[in-house]
Amino acid sequence: MRIDRFLSNLPQFSRQHVRLLLIEKRIRVDGQVICDPHHEIRTFSRIELDDGVLQDGKPARYFMLHKPQGCVSATRDPEHPTVLDLLDEPDKHELHIAGRLDFNTSGLMLITNDGQWSRRLTQPQTKLPKVYYVETEHIIGPEYIDQFRQGIYFAYENLTTLPAELELLGPCSARLSIVEGRYHQVKRMFGYFDNKVIRLHRESIGPLALDSLLAPGAWRPLSDQEIQLF
Ligand code: URA
């Protein structure tokens, strides 16, 4: 949101008043004097007028977690442990998950309190490749490669999946890259061939791969460089 818009939304300031505050250099965003009414601010920006605080600006938080099998990617669940239970962080209710995984899927999970950031990551237009290691009950034939590239028709949603890249690794194992996140997408794609997925592990989301030093259930904050990737 623009700073002039943020200020004029506050009940105490008229538009004229806002213009003056900016010209008079009385507004600071994250410690810096701002005169440009177009300056973009975020939920996490600290905004001050003279010596008073207009918006506190909580720090944005970003984590990578190695989701183990047998836990729910939700913030709360009455029956099972959730990925948030694994995270030893204050104010966990402020955090949310960017891109869920099924109960028995393991792998890279991103958790944040920055809604803009997670939206960029998960919105369909972004078409970020998500890479999965897959093991199946039956042999994965070479015909899967072309079929996944052409797309699989999902009757429930009445759509055909976008081209996906399949790399065969062994008779019953493969690496699949998809750019969407439909419900049970990978399992349903293999289901087209009546081949049950028995192990599913997300290795990466876009340019960010799961840190190989993170054991299942372990987590760490993202570095600034990793945050800037999205
Ligand atoms: N596709 C699935 O079927 N399950 C997941 O957890 C992720 C992608």
Q: pLDDT by residue (tens digit) across 126-158?
A: 899 999 999 999 999 999 999 999 999 999 999
Are residue 36 and residue 97 in the same domain, yes or no? Answer: no
The DSSP output letter for 220 is E
Q: Provide the residue type at 151 as one letter.
A: G
Question: Alpha carbon of 141 to those of 134, 136, 170, 173, 176: distances in Å?
Answer: 14, 11, 10, 10, 14
Where residue 11 falls among pLDDT bands split at 50, 70, 90? confident
Among 17, 33, 55, identify where a domain stops. Answer: 55
pLDDT at 160 over 90: yes
Pair 189, 164: CB distance under 8 Å:
yes
DSSP per residue, 14-77 = -HHHHHHHHHTT-EEETTEE---TT-B--TT--EEETTEEEE--PPP-EEEEEEPTT-BSSS--
Looking at beta carbons, which pairs linking 188-191 to residues 24 or more positions away fall under 8 Å?
188/152, 188/154, 189/148, 189/152, 189/161, 189/164, 190/134, 190/136, 190/140, 190/144
Are residue 40 and residue 79 in the same domain, yes or no? Answer: no
Q: pLDDT by residue (tens digit) across 49-68?
A: 998 899 887 888 999 999 99
Question: Alpha carbon of 167 to those of 102, 140, 211: distances in Å?
Answer: 22, 10, 21
Q: pLDDT by residue (tens digit) across 171-224?
A: 999 999 999 999 999 999 999 999 999 999 999 999 999 999 999 999 999 999
State pTM to two decimals: 0.82
CA 81 to chain centre: 20
Q: pLDDT by residue (tens digit) across 30-52?
A: 899 999 999 999 878 889 999 88
Residue 137 structural domain: 62-221
| Ligand 1 pocket, residue 184 CB under 6 Å | yes
Among 17, 39, 55, identify where a domain stops. Answer: 55
| Ligand 1 centroid, distance to 62 Cα (angstroms) | 22
pLDDT of residue 69: 97
pLDDT of residue 116: 84
Does residue 9 belong to any structural domain of this protein? Answer: yes
Task: Tokens 């300031």: give the residue.
Answer: 13
pLDDT at 123 over 90: no
Rounded distance, CA 71 to CA 107, Å? Answer: 11
Does residue 228 belong to any structural domain of this protein? Answer: no
| Ligand 1 centroid, distance to 186 Cα (angstroms) | 5
Are residue 42 and residue 140 in the same domain, yes or no? Answer: no
Pair 151, 163: CB distance under 8 Å:
yes
Closest residue by Cα to residue 218 from 86, 105, 107? 86
| Ligand 1 centroid, distance to 114 Cα (angstroms) | 24
Closest residue by Cα to residue 63 from 118, 121, 111? 111
Are residue 32 and residue 106 in the same domain, yes or no? Answer: no
Number of domains in the chain: 2
Atom of ligand 1 nearest to the CA of 178: 8
Rounded distance, CA 148 to CA 39, Å? Answer: 45
Is residue 4 annotated as a catalytic residue, yes or no?
no
